[in-house]
Amino acid sequence: MKVTRREFFKLTGLAALTAAVVGCDWDEDPILSQPLTDAKEVTTICPYCSCGCGAICYVANGKLVSVSGDPDHPINEGALCSKGASLLNLNTVYNFRTHNAEINPNRLTKVLYRAPYSKVWEEKNWRWAMDKIAKRVKETRDASFEAQADGVTVNRTMAIAHLGSAALDNEENYLLAKLMRSLGIVNLDHHARL
Amino acid sequence: MANVVLVDTQKCMACRGCQVACKDWNRLPAGATKFRGNYTNPPTLQAHTWNHVVFTETDKGRWLFASYSCMHCTDAACINVCPVGAVQRTKSGTVWPDGDKCIGCGLCVQHCPFHVPQVSKATNKMGKCTGCAERVSQGLRPACVTTCPNGALLYGERGEMMQLAKDRVDALRRQGFSEASIYGDLEMHGLGRIYVLTEIPSAYGLPETPGYNASAWIWQLARRPLGTLTSIGLFSGLVVGFLRWRGERIQHKDNYSI
C-alpha cells in the first residue's frame, strides 16, 4: 500500500481520535465464559463420608468442567462441605504455575499390583485382577472355613473381612452384603463409619 | 448496592466448604501450606485464595469462626487508589479486579483496611474475590453461599439481609450473647458482606473502625486527569502541526511534489 504524506497525517489523526474514544472505560459488567449452560448434567453421590450428599457433574464436550451440590437432593439440598466441594479435583487440578486445568496426575487409571514382599507396582488389566481376587478368595475361604465352633453350627470364615463404601448406593451395598454373607464372611464394615 | 452476603458466624461450623468452593469455581490453583499454630489456613488471603475461614479462640475457650473474603465496600479504597482504574464497580455492586489492566503496583494492598487484595508473585496481578459477578449476573448465588451446608452464608437483597441480621442479633442477645452485633451496616459506607457477630469485631480479626488514608485517593484524583491532559495535548499538537504544515504547503505548492 502506497501512503502519501498527506494520507499518513490523516490516518494518524484518525488513529489518535479512535484511541481517545475507544480508550475510555466501557460501562459493562465483566462476564466470564463459564460454559455451564451448555454442559450436560450428570448426578452422582459424594464418595466421602456416609451422609451421601448428592452432587451434579457438569460435562461439556466429554470433559468434566465443574461439580456442585445437587439442589434437588433431599440430603444436602445443594450444599457441600469442603471435601465434597473438592470433588472436581479428583479428576482435574489447576497447575500452580501455569494456571491451566490438567488431569490430576495422582489419579489411578490402571490396575496396579504389588506382589507379596515386592517393592514395585506392576500394571495389570482388569481381567487378570478379577481372576486373581476370585482365586484368592476361594483359596482363603476353603482353607479357613469352619462349619462348627464350640458345638454350634456357624458356617463362617474369619480370615476375610469386607470394607464397604459410601460411594455405593443402597442396592449395590445390599448386593455386596448378600455376597459376603453367602461366602460366610462375618467381618463386614464400612470405610466411613461415623 | 443491591445484593449482599450475610455471614452468620454463630451458624458457621468452619467446614471450609466456602473456601474450597471458591477455589473450585474460580479455578484457582492450590498451594502447599504450613501449620503455623492456628487453624486459619492459609493465614492470610492470597492472590489465588480469595476466601478463607478465620479461626479465633477466645479467653473463655470458645471458638469463633468467620468466612472471610472481599467486603465489596461501598466506599472501596482499592477502586479509589488504583492508578490505572483496574479495580471497577460492576453493575451488581461488587468490586471487580480487571487482570488485563492491573500493573501489580500494590497500592490496593497497602490501602485496603481488610487486607483483602494480594498481588501474585507469579503473574504480578492483584487477585481477590470478584463476588462471583458472572454467576450473579446469571441469577445464581455466589459459589461460597451455594455450598454452605448450615446456612451460615446467605445471599440476598440488602434490606432483607439487614432485617435477617437484626432478627439474628436479637435472638443471640436473648441466648446470652450480650456483645452480639451487626458488622457492615455503616462501615465503609456499607459493606457488601454483613456479619452477625457474637463478640466485638476485633475478636474476629475485623477492624473496629475500618478506613483508609484519604491522601492516597486525592493523589490519584490529581494523577488521573494529568494522564488525560497529556493525551489531549499530544492529539491537539498533532492537529495544529498538521494544519500548519497544510497551510505552508498551500503557500509553496510548487516546492512539494508528492
Of the candidates B17, B92, B242, the beta carbon closest to that of A80 is on B17
Asked if A94 and B27 come within 8 Å (Cβ–Cβ), the reply is yes
pLDDT at A96: 67
In a domain, A21, yes or no: no
A119 pLDDT higher than 50? yes
**B86 is in which domain, residue-wise?**
3-204
pLDDT at A27: 44
**A163 is in which domain, residue-wise?**
145-190
pLDDT at B216: 75
In a domain, A95, yes or no: yes
Tell me if B109 sits within 8 A of B32, measured CB to CB: no
In angstroms, the CA A26 to CA A43 distance is 40
In a domain, A73, yes or no: yes
B195 pLDDT higher than 90? yes
Residue A2 pLDDT level (bands cut at 50, 70, 90): low
Q: Which residues of B touch A (CB under 8 A)?
A: 15-17, 19-21, 24-25, 27-31, 85, 88, 90-92, 96, 98, 122-123, 130, 133-135, 137-138, 143, 146-150, 231-232, 234-235, 238-239, 242, 245, 258
Do both B218 and B102 map to the same domain?
no
Separation in Å, CA of B209 to nearest CA in chain A: 31
In a domain, A169, yes or no: yes
Do both B38 and B161 map to the same domain?
yes
**E strand spans, chain B:** 3-8, 51-57, 63-69, 87-89, 95-97, 118-119, 126-127, 153-157, 181-183, 193-197
B213 pLDDT higher than 70? yes
Separation in Å, CA of B142 to nearest CA in chain A: 12
Asked if A17 and B135 come within 8 Å (Cβ–Cβ), the reply is no
- Of A103, A129, A157, the domain-final residue: A103
Do both B146 and B229 map to the same domain?
no
Asked if A30 and B92 come within 8 Å (Cβ–Cβ), the reply is no
Do both B140 and B28 map to the same domain?
yes
Query: What single string gives the DSSP state of each residue in A102-153?
Result: EE-TT---SEEE--TT--S-EEE-HHHHHHHHHHHHHHHHHHH-EEEETTEE
Residue A34 pLDDT level (bands cut at 50, 70, 90): low
Asked if B29 and A31 come within 8 Å (Cβ–Cβ), the reply is no
Do both B197 and B241 map to the same domain?
no
In angstroms, the CA B203 to CA B66 distance is 11
Asked if A31 and B134 come within 8 Å (Cβ–Cβ), the reply is yes
In a domain, A129, yes or no: no
In a domain, B178, yes or no: yes
pLDDT at B103: 92
Asked if B258 and A6 come within 8 Å (Cβ–Cβ), the reply is yes
A33 pLDDT higher than 60? no
> Which cell numbers hold the place of B151?
446456612
Interval A136-188: pLDDT, tens = 999 999 999 999 999 999 999 999 999 887 777 788 889 999 999 999 999 99
The residue that leads in pLDDT, A147 or A47, is: A147
> What SS3 state is found at A60?
strand
Of the candidates B24, B29, B135, the beta carbon closest to that of A86 is on B24
Do both A41 and A94 map to the same domain?
yes
Question: How much is the pTM?
Answer: 0.74
| Residue A91's CATH number | 3.30.200.210
| Residue B7's CATH number | 3.30.70.20
**E strand spans, chain A:** 40-45, 54-60, 63-69, 92-94, 101-103, 111-113, 122-124, 146-149, 152-164, 185-190
Q: Helix, strand, coil proportions of chain B in percent (round to 5)?
A: 35, 15, 45
Do both B132 and B248 map to the same domain?
no
Number of folded domains that form chain A: 2
Mean pLDDT of chain B: 89
Q: Which among B133, B105, B109 is positioned nearest to B46, based on CA atoms?
A: B109
In a domain, B19, yes or no: yes
Query: What single string gives the DSSP state of each residue in B42-97?
Result: SSS-BTTB-EEEEEEE-TTS-EEEEEEE----SS-HHHHH-TT--EEE-TTS-EEE
| A64 contacts in chain B (CB < 8 Å) | none
Angle made by CA atoms B203, B205, B206, in degrees to the nearest 5: 100
pLDDT at A164: 84
In a domain, B44, yes or no: yes
Angle made by CA atoms B208, B213, B218, in degrees to the nearest 5: 145
Do both A99 and A157 map to the same domain?
no
Tell me if B68 sits within 8 A of B52, measured CB to CB: yes
Separation in Å, CA of B61 to nearest CA in chain A: 25
In a domain, A48, yes or no: yes
A22 pLDDT higher than 60? no
Buried b (16+ CB within 10 A) or exposed e, A81-115: bbbbbbbbbeebbbeeeeeebeeeeeeeeebeeee
In a domain, B221, yes or no: yes
In a domain, A184, yes or no: yes
Do both B61 and B149 map to the same domain?
yes
Do both B167 and B237 map to the same domain?
no
Number of folded domains that form chain B: 2
- Of A103, A128, A154, the domain-final residue: A103
Interval B236-252: pLDDT, tens = 899 999 998 888 888 87
Q: Which of A125-129, A155-159, B79-83, B179-183 has the lowest mean pLDDT?
A: B79-83
Do both A43 and A96 map to the same domain?
yes
Return the axis-axis angle of helices B214-251 and A5-22, rounded to nearest 10°: 160
Span B201-214, average pLDDT: 89
Do both A43 and A97 map to the same domain?
yes
pLDDT at A94: 80
In a domain, A10, yes or no: no
A105 in B contact zone (CB under 8 Å): no
The residue that leads in pLDDT, A57 or B226, is: A57
Residue A66 pLDDT level (bands cut at 50, 70, 90): confident
A30 pLDDT higher than 80? no
Span A110-121, average pLDDT: 94
| Smallest CA–CA distance from A33 into chain B, residue | B134
Do both B157 and B229 map to the same domain?
no
Maximum alpha-carbon separation in chain B: 97
Span B38-65, average pLDDT: 91
pLDDT at A19: 57
- Of A88, A103, A118, the domain-final residue: A103
Q: Which of A113-117, A140-144, A164-168, B145-149 has the lowest mean pLDDT?
A: A164-168
| B122 contacts in chain A (CB < 8 Å) | 97
Do both B55 and B78 map to the same domain?
yes
In a domain, B209, yes or no: no
Q: Which residues contact A85 (CB under 8 A, 6 or more apart)?
A: A69, B17, B20, B21, B24, B147
